[in-house]
Structure 1
């Protein structure tokens, strides 16, 4: 009898050791995905590109399927790619992205219809290389938007209609659209998009949206559109952030201020870099910016240090905790890429740097902050 009890006790001890060992290696909730944890709060999305959708990285695609319930086209829907020559459209790659989103029951976002950057030159010039007239550019805008949005009517659930139209001081960026048409090009773009698909959501999207001047300028523009009865369904705050200049308080102020327009806020293009900023120029996401490579500007070429990861994780946690606090105002948070190894931040604004700005690392593993977000989500 004593031997039986001793055997049972040993069995129980082994069971408990096995249980707690498994619990330590697989903490509660660790099998839960981001999209499951954030259900009822906001969509969690990511940008995907043609290379990924065409099978370039199967492991990243599995992460997308498991953790995200929204996708946005990173590049192939930008006008220089989808409409490189007048009347000639390249729909093959955008079609594949839309089909992938549909197959995985995702909220699909098109990016972007009207943007001064990555626009084909023919938009703005005639056969002699001179600027076209206001009427010609308006018609080219209308045709482009109607063809692209119309093709995906009822399939793409939201569009970044106009991208980066406002400067840091709140004035309009003097792009070719602004120079030739005037500030009402924004209004016209939203009108054309609504005509092409009355049921899709239409967004304004910009970087530096925690900047008080740009914040005020965007609100003024949005309220003007609303006063005219123009359909606009959300304000996109690009989340290209850097620890050197990030103020979570200012980001929060913008979320609250934008929500007072009555529109939901979207955190778009999220990536958080810890790398040093190369110039005295204020933080920006202007893709035209370039700086020369210097070794001191690439401090983590051989890997993220434990201290750097801790600093990054703490700030990322602070941001997502704030997003969750305001989940009633936010309808989507989208990361600009899936894993660190494919982030555009590795080459911008300094080509050849090694950056670590996303939620999943180069080994396709979730960073500790992913589990933290999952746990934090249960509190809201």
Structure 2
């Protein structure tokens, strides 16, 4: 699938401290280190022997708030577009790695492993490939794989060697490779990839194969045949572009049957789309669905990791392809963590701190404030308050109030404006996040100090403008 780039959102990002960790899936990778912040999804995944990653695309690398999350929250990166044929070999025999290199270098700078995507796909091909005579195409395909996989040898731990070669009924997709080379092109692609990089794990990747059905059966038969023939294949990728409330009931069973063939399984392009706008019920269902997918992977030893297809709703490909749908990811457009994030966090073994909420204003139907401590260390702590609009119409402003315990103080607030009167604190919206749609949410963060104890407040109130 292609990553679609959304519009840049204004966010004031805080600098968070992270806990040290390593990833031992394919390569050892050091996670960002620190003493105080709660663990990231990547660090939690490491503790489970997995990775948790995100796809990304080149235009988003210019957005500092975006890259602050991308570089710290995840321990794996997939190159969303620019390792595809149209970018890498736009003209026959002329290779351009400049765009993909930027993403690979970003991952290396942030101690993240890279999944290569993709060597052979019927889509996003330069026009010249379709014009290659049948007798030459196998050689052209082999040369392309040799160049690309050889160039990234030692930098890419997984390759999606062939992508989306089957139709929904399990028959072969009539791509230019299928038509001009025949059934053997997939096996030849895997052989060429192994020759180019003997250490990379080689994957077949497809969509609508998460549950057991005709398409996943065809993929299963392909893998089984390859294993019997000694054709190199190390894993299968289940893209998992899912619909709200429709996670296949056979997901775990399907992952297990591929593992039983002796290959690894990865959830490679996860997103779970809904009809927009979001509301609390949809968010809750999406959280349940993300938890289900994560648990299914964790239940099978050879399910090695999960990659979301970008992490922020502002950069999702869904709205441009499915009009009226979206909100498919674990962060919203403003890089606030959604309930789906916390569902994954808890499924991976993270523990949420105590929260407290009180609703006031608009006759009791206005906004709700949820307070949580996200990190704590000797004498200091970091927290986050999520403001949700529970009314049926948009709000234009909000104010959150609570009373600090004796010994507590707030030192810094972002995405909000702080007023303090003794131990009573009030945070009103910043000039860019006061407008919240019906059922929507925003958040602000803070760093504080404490002495003696650091309890959560007994009550947190939220009022609307």
Q: Which TM-score band (shorter chain)? A: 0.7 to 0.9
Tell me which residue corresponds to 2:287: 313
Give a deviation string over 1:167-214, Cα, whole Å, max 9, x none: 222221111111111110000000111111111111000001025111
Give a deviation string over 1:60-81, Cα, whole Å, max 9, x none: 2111122110001101111112
Tell me which residue corresponds to 1:19: none
- Asked if 1 retains the 8 angstrom alpha-carbon contact of 2:240 and 2:268, the reply is yes
Query: In proportion to residue count, which structure has more helix?
Result: 1
Tell me which residue corresponds to 1:157: 157
Root-mean-square deviation (CA, aligned residues, Å) is 1.9
Say which of 83, 86, 100 aligns to 2:92. Answer: 86
CA apart distance, 1:354: 5.6
- Between Structure 1 and Structure 2, how many residues are aligned? 314
CA 1:123–1:169 in 2, change beyond 3 Å: closer, same or farther?
same
The residue matched to 1:37 in structure 2 has which SS? helix
The residue matched to 1:236 in structure 2 has which SS? strand
- Asked if 2 retains the 8 angstrom alpha-carbon contact of 1:112 and 1:160, the reply is yes
Tell me which residue corresponds to 1:215: 216
- Asked if 1 retains the 8 angstrom alpha-carbon contact of 2:241 and 2:269, the reply is yes
Give a deviation string over 1:138-176, Cα, whole Å, max 9, x none: 011011111111111111111100000112222211111
- Asked if 1 retains the 8 angstrom alpha-carbon contact of 2:290 and 2:344, the reply is no
Query: In proportion to residue count, which structure has more strand?
Result: 2
Mapped partners of 1:343, 1:69: distance in 2: 20
Mapped partners of 1:59, 1:354: distance in 2: 25
Give a deviation string over 1:65-103, Cα, whole Å, max 9, x none: 221100011011111121111122221111111111111
Tell me which residue corresponds to 1:224: 225
- Asked if 2 retains the 8 angstrom alpha-carbon contact of 1:30 and 1:371, the reply is no
Say which of 34, 41, 45 aligns to 1:38. Answer: 45
The residue matched to 1:71 in structure 2 has which SS? strand
Mapped partners of 1:333, 1:274: distance in 2: 20
Does 1:330 pair with 2:307? Answer: no
Normalization by structure 1: what TM-score? 0.79
Mapped partners of 1:30, 1:250: distance in 2: 36
Say which of 112, 116, 121 aligns to 1:115. Answer: 121
Give a deviation string over 1:28-72, Cα, whole Å, max 9, x none: x9822111111142110110111123x1x2112111122110001
Mapped partners of 2:269, 2:67: distance in 1: 18
Q: 1:334-345, aligned counterparts within 5 Å?
A: 334-345=307-318
Tell me which residue corresponds to 1:373: 344
Farther-moved stretch of structure 1 (224-233 vs 180-189)? 224-233
Tell me which residue corresponds to 2:73: 67
CA 1:247–1:339 in 2, change beyond 3 Å: closer, same or farther?
closer
The residue matched to 1:208 in structure 2 has which SS? coil
- Asked if 2 retains the 8 angstrom alpha-carbon contact of 1:60 and 1:338, the reply is no
Mapped partners of 1:314, 1:224: distance in 2: 36
Does 1:238 pair with 2:239? Answer: yes
Tell me which residue corresponds to 1:21: none
Give a deviation string over 1:264-319, Cα, whole Å, max 9, x none: 110011000012xxxxxxxxxxxxxxxxxxxxxxx41xxx2122212222222222
- Asked if 1 retains the 8 angstrom alpha-carbon contact of 2:247 and 2:293, the reply is no
CA apart distance, 1:248: 3.2
Normalization by structure 2: what TM-score? 0.65
- Asked if 2 retains the 8 angstrom alpha-carbon contact of 1:45 and 1:72, the reply is yes
Mapped partners of 2:222, 2:295: distance in 1: 29
Tell me which residue corresponds to 1:24: none
Mapped partners of 2:181, 2:115: distance in 1: 27
Q: Which has the higher contact order (CA 8 A, sep 6+)?
A: 1
Tell me which residue corresponds to 1:287: none
Structure 2: 5+ residue runs without aligned partners?
1-35, 351-465
CA 1:169–1:211 in 2, change beyond 3 Å: closer, same or farther?
farther
Q: 1:263-302, aligned counterparts within 5 Å?
A: 263-275=263-275, 299-300=276-277
Say which of 29, 49, 73 aligns to 2:57. Answer: 49
